[in-house]
Structure formats: C-alpha cells, structure tokens
Amino acid sequence: MRIRKVPFFSLFALSLLGVTHLHAQETKSSATTSASEPDAVEIFDGKTLAGWSGLSSNWRVEDGAITGENTAEAPIPQNTFLVYDKPVRDFELVLEFKIQGGNSGIQYRSKVLNKEKFVVGGYQADIDSGKRFMGINYEEQGRGILTERGEIIAIDKDGKKSKVGTTGDPDALLSRVRWDDWNEYRIVARGSVLQHYINGTLMSETQDGETAKAATEGIIAFQVHAGPPMKVQFKNIRLKKY
C-alpha cells in the first residue's frame, strides 16, 4: 500500500529522468456528476497526464484512463505514485477504478517523501485484487491499517483506537465490488472524518483525532505497488472541494 512540484525541465531532460510532469488548469466537468457532488471538477482530461506527476515508466494514459503498471520484466523496488499537483483539504473525490492483480490505492491528505522516486506517505483508500484490503483506510509510510472494512474507528488525541460502529459485515461488503470490472470509489474527507465508499456503499469510516499524526491537508495520488505484476486504471476523476 503506500511533491512538491518537480522543477520544469526540457522534454529531453524529462525523457532522461523518466518522469511525466505536466500541468493543466482544472475545468468544470462536462460529464454528468452525482447529486452529492454537483460542483465537482474533472482533474483528468482523459487524454494526457497534464496536472499529474510520476514516473513515465510506470504511468500512462490507455483507453481514456490513467494506467499504472508494475511488470514482471521491469519490477519496481518500492511503491511509486502518480501525484495530483494541487493539495486539498476537505473534499469529495469520485472516480472509477479497475485493478488486475496485486494491490493499489488512492492517497489523500498525503505528502511526497521522495520526489525523484515519487514515494508518498499518508491516508490511503485501499484497492486490491486479493479481496483482503479493499475499502480499508491504510496509512502509507505511517501507522499502517487505521480502519478495516466494515469498521467505524475513532482515534483519540493520544492515538488510542476504539471501534465505535460498523458499516456492515466485511465479507458481505465485498459483494458490492465488481471484480475485474469498473467500480466507483468515493472518498469524503471533512474535518477529522474520513469515509470510503465503493459503488455507493460505505466500506469504512475513520475519525482521526490523533494530535501528532492526523493530517488535515495534502496531495492526492494513485499507487503502483511493488511485488507481483499488477495493473490499475482510473477514469472519470471528479473532485469537489469543501
């Protein structure tokens, strides 16, 4: 599970670095958005990685979707991320995703720890093909699993975790996922409350009040996971800031 902006280089230098770093202004979505996010904007143009930064060896646009891949021929030594260049605070993010093999995730309120290799740490809405971590809240490069699927967890100012509710049976919640097909992920972060929905069903909720470690602002990023070959895709990415 696991940029500040990278300085502008010439196209030649970018090819040497193997980094995609393009920029585009957010534009109002022309696509239909759900009633819960009528003021959302598209943050992916469906054609290029403008506005996103990452390693071009692992990220591309394929069939109108952001596509990340770790291959058997060129395995990555550690998790790497595609970073949306503008930090967010309170927001609602809605997108479609599909995964083939391995593990991925959507980082938010996160920070870049290594801007050459695009290593990111922070909250992660987990995605995996193994049916173990889908929908959980995992803090990459931090506290690890904060909230399992099916749980509502409150973390107090000193870091003590308490289960204060449930979103349903964790195995039954998996029946909401369309494996090997497109699914909708919705992340809502308002104040200390972090909610992960898949296909309209709340998978987990984290109430993070830990004084020293809770994050209130940071970047959004997508993950390519080290280990077995995997491929993940994202499209129709819509962001509403509160």
With a CB cutoff of 8 Å and minimum separation 6, the contacts of 242 are 89, 90, 91, 92, 190
List the chain pLDDT tens, one digit each, 242 residues. 443 444 434 433 444 344 444 333 333 333 333 435 568 999 999 999 999 999 999 999 999 999 999 999 999 999 999 999 899 999 999 999 999 999 999 999 999 999 999 999 999 999 999 999 999 999 999 999 999 999 999 999 999 999 999 999 999 999 999 998 999 999 999 999 999 999 999 999 999 999 999 999 999 999 999 999 999 999 999 999 99
DSSP 22: B
Q: Distance from first CA to last CA of the chain, Å, rounded?
A: 27
- Is 141 in contact with 119 (CB distance < 8 Å)? yes
Tokens of 211: 């004084």
Going from the N-terminus, what domains does the chain have, and what CATH number goes with each? 11-241 (2.60.120.560)
Determine the Cα angle at 28 with ends 62 and 205, to 5°.
Answer: 75
